[in-house]
Structure 1
Amino acid sequence: MNRAAITTAAAVTAILLAGCGTATSSTPEAAPNGQAGEAAPAAGKAMADASSAFTAVSAAVPSAKLGTTVTAESDPNHMLGRPHGYTSKITFTDARIPAEQTEGRENDDLELGGSIEIFPTAAEAKSRADYIQAASKAMPTLAEYDYLHGATLVRVSRLLTPAQAADYEKAAAKLPDRY
């Protein structure tokens, strides 16, 4: 391989790893009230956060356990509260993932179970999912399952089987529109 190709491959890899940490399979977006890109609630109306969404998801997926609540300081993607970023994020673990497949991983690693990201609009959540999909095409070993519901993106570890991940898809589809 020539030097330019190696340099380009290294740059793409660095960007992908810094940009999302993992990548995606995909699912279609379900926009709130059928309107893609609907804005966040008007001032004075509280929008649910990722912890509330996780409570609803974990009721349907009992093997899911809350991991960490991401803060602006701890966010590895530097997206929390920033333009076009999420407004809330949590990580979770899933007990169905064999321990030998998770050895050496950080406590908030998506491979341990997943994460839930809440965006100001459905369009911004879809943009994030599309970005992750594009990254996974370049590096399939970073694949994950992603499920959109309105402004909520539920990201699930590739270490789960498709049938296990489908539990999260069903749970995400039942989230209220404001999650």
Structure 2
Amino acid sequence: MRKALTLTAAVTVLTASLAGCGGSGSSGGDAAPAKSAPAHAASPKAAAAQAKPLTAQTAFAKVSADVSTAKLSGTVTADNDPNHLLGRPNQYTSKITFDDTRISADDVTGTDKGDVERGGAIEAFGSPADAQARAKYIQAVTKSMPMLTEYDYVHGTVLVRLSHYLTPKQAADYKTATDNLG
């Protein structure tokens, strides 16, 4: 009987201690609910913005606001996708292409409209892992082919692909814009 009372007392003390630890900042006192209310009131808007994934078009709008030399050149559809990846499992869900006016026309003579060499492309994916996998694949394929190398920047579910004709400093402008996608 004495062991049972000691065990019960120990469990009670332990439960009280754990409850005290959990109350810090989340449910203790009158100040916590007052702080939570404004954040909770704003959170549906914030949650909706975060729940809505970036498309290639919305990402381009944000990037081109920071890099004024980027000019939209095309929207990739299932009918015109040269890679036949749009909408396929683990592949991009939207894609746009763009030109960069800092790239000399002489450098891109013979390339097709929408080729990354002319400026770049933005691909949006269903998950960050898919965007990372695509960037790794492109880097692996182009590693031994200097004419096809490119700058690739991933931010969440978005992959920004850039022409190797851009200088490292010019590509850094896109890197900064990509990092600011939110």
Whether TM exceeds 0.5 here: the answer is yes
Q: Matched residues in 2 for 1:139 and 1:48: separation? A: 31
What residue number does 1:100 align with?
Answer: 106
* Structure label with greater radius of gyration: 2
What residue number does 1:141 align with?
Answer: 147
Deviations 1:114-159 (A, max 9, x none): 0000000000000000101111223232100000000100000000
Q: Matched residues in 2 for 1:100 and 1:136: separation? A: 22
- SS of residue in 1 equivalent to 2:153: strand
Deviation beyond 3 Å, 4+ runs, structure 1: none
Give, as a single letter, the amino acid of the residue that structure 2 aligns with 1:152. V
What residue number does 1:82 align with?
Answer: 88
Which runs of 5 or more structure 1 residues have no equivalent in the other structure?
A: 1-40
Q: Which of 125, 131, 156 is the equivalent residue of 1:125?
A: 131
What residue number does 1:156 align with?
Answer: 162
Q: Which of 170, 173, 179 is the equivalent residue of 1:167?
A: 173
- SS of residue in 2 equivalent to 1:129: helix
Deviations 1:84-120 (A, max 9, x none): 1100000000000011111121111110000000000
Deviations 1:4-47 (A, max 9, x none): xxxxxxxxxxxxxxxxxxxxxxxxxxxxxxxxxxxxx99xx543
- SS of residue in 2 equivalent to 1:57: helix
Deviations 1:54-98 (A, max 9, x none): 010001000000010000111111110001110000000000001
Q: Matched residues in 2 for 1:97 and 1:65: separation? A: 12
Q: Matched residues in 2 for 1:98 and 1:53: separation? A: 25
Q: Matched residues in 2 for 1:59 and 1:129: separation? A: 24
- SS of residue in 2 equivalent to 1:91: strand
Give, as a single letter, the amino acid of the residue that structure 2 aligns with 1:159. Y
Give, as a single letter, the amino acid of the residue that structure 1 aligns with 2:109. E
Identity over aligned pairs, percent: 55
Q: Matched residues in 2 for 1:103 and 1:137: separation? A: 23
The answer to which structure, 1 or 2, has the higher relative contact order (CA under 8 A, 6+ apart) is 1
TM-score, reference length from structure 1: 0.72
Which runs of 5 or more structure 2 residues have no equivalent in the other structure?
A: 1-46
